[in-house]
Amino acid sequence: MKNLLNKAIGSIMGVALAAASMMGMTGCSVINDDLDPCPQGVKLRFVFDYNMEFYNTFPAQVDCLTLLVYDRDGKFVTSRTETTSALADENYRMTLDLPADTYHFVAYGGMECEKSTFHFVKNPSAGTTLAELQVNMNDNCVSANPGEELHPLFFGDLDLTVDSKAMDYTAGTVYMIRDTNTIRVVLQNVDGTPVNPDDFTFTIFDDNTQLAFDNSVIPVADGNTYSPWQTGQVTVGTTDTDDAATIAFAEFSTSRLMDGSGSRLVINDCISDEAVLSIPLVNYLQLMKSVSSKYSKLGAQEFLDRECDWTLMLFLDNGRWIDTHIVINDWTVRLNHAEL
């Protein structure tokens, strides 16, 4: 009799524990109408570690966030934005109440900021689809002279399922990449004479101002032209040891760089209007992979996406480019034009 009683008590306790487990610590339930329903939806973290530091710098770099939600059929569901300093907190999470289903989330950093330089071609809203999602650079940034420093743009996406039996929000992480680049071109005379930036025109030709729902580049008919947003002259080195040099620089801000693109850097002499140089920009930037074991194992597109701050130092002799070597982000690259 005593054993039967113990077994009965054990069974009752087992049922009670199971019920408590289903209700969770918040006292909610997905099966008991007498309790409040459990929270259902997603709790999303945002990470930007797709950089050369391989470290999450989202809190430091992203100052506004837009999240778009699409259902399993690619139809728009809802959106959320965050423009406060909450984004600077490593513990920031965006919470959305959503019914059980499978969703596709698309996140943009930099779209809702006051100084944003990109916009949605068609604002995501009821009736729109994922395939229609497209981001363009603002008109005043395209083919402008002087150019404009682009506000940083970030992109990320995630597929996530909300289970109907979930007792709490479903956690997920949206990994972001940065689409905007700073490209700094430096001219230095090998004989040490100063270089005047007013003696040259600097131009980058590319076709990357329009981005699709998957962050791929949408080609346009004539491509686009980037002019530097600032040019100048600066003296570097130590005058006490006669190592100082007065160099000219031009700084560009561009959209996403793509492997295999026809991106081109052209520098012309203002007096003769002849090209000092005309090089396939992306091909030259990728040369840095070949001289660094740290980057050599990265894929071509991953390398371009992880790096966003580029400096190219070019050396002149009598106003002509010496095309034997180039310095890219402090790495000296010996040129083999057969590889380009």
For the chain (340 residues), the mean pLDDT of every run of 10, in chain order, is: 47 44 54 71 98 96 98 98 97 97 98 95 96 95 90 98 93 98 96 94 96 96 92 79 83 97 95 92 93 87 97 93 92 75
Which strands form 275-280's sheet, in the order they lie side by side? 224-226, 200-206, 264-269, 275-280
Alpha carbon 24 to its chain's center: 38
Distance CA 124, CA 308 (A): 28
pLDDT given for residue 132 in this prediction: 97
Separate counts of helices (H) and strands (E) for the chain? 5, 21
Helix (H, G, I), strand (E, B) or coil at 159: strand
Report the amino acid identity of residue 237. Answer: G
Longest dimension (CA), the chain: 109
pLDDT given for residue 205 in this prediction: 96
27 exposure class (CB count in 10 Å sphere: 0-12, 13-18, 19+): exposed
Distance CA 103, CA 126 (A): 15
Distance CA 5, CA 287 (A): 79
Whole-structure pTM value:
0.88
Tokens 């989330």 belong to 105
pLDDT given for residue 292 in this prediction: 78
Preceding peptide of 146 cis, ω within 30°: yes
pLDDT given for residue 22 in this prediction: 45
Reference 204, options 170, 260, 250, 138; nearest CA is 250
pLDDT given for residue 29 in this prediction: 63
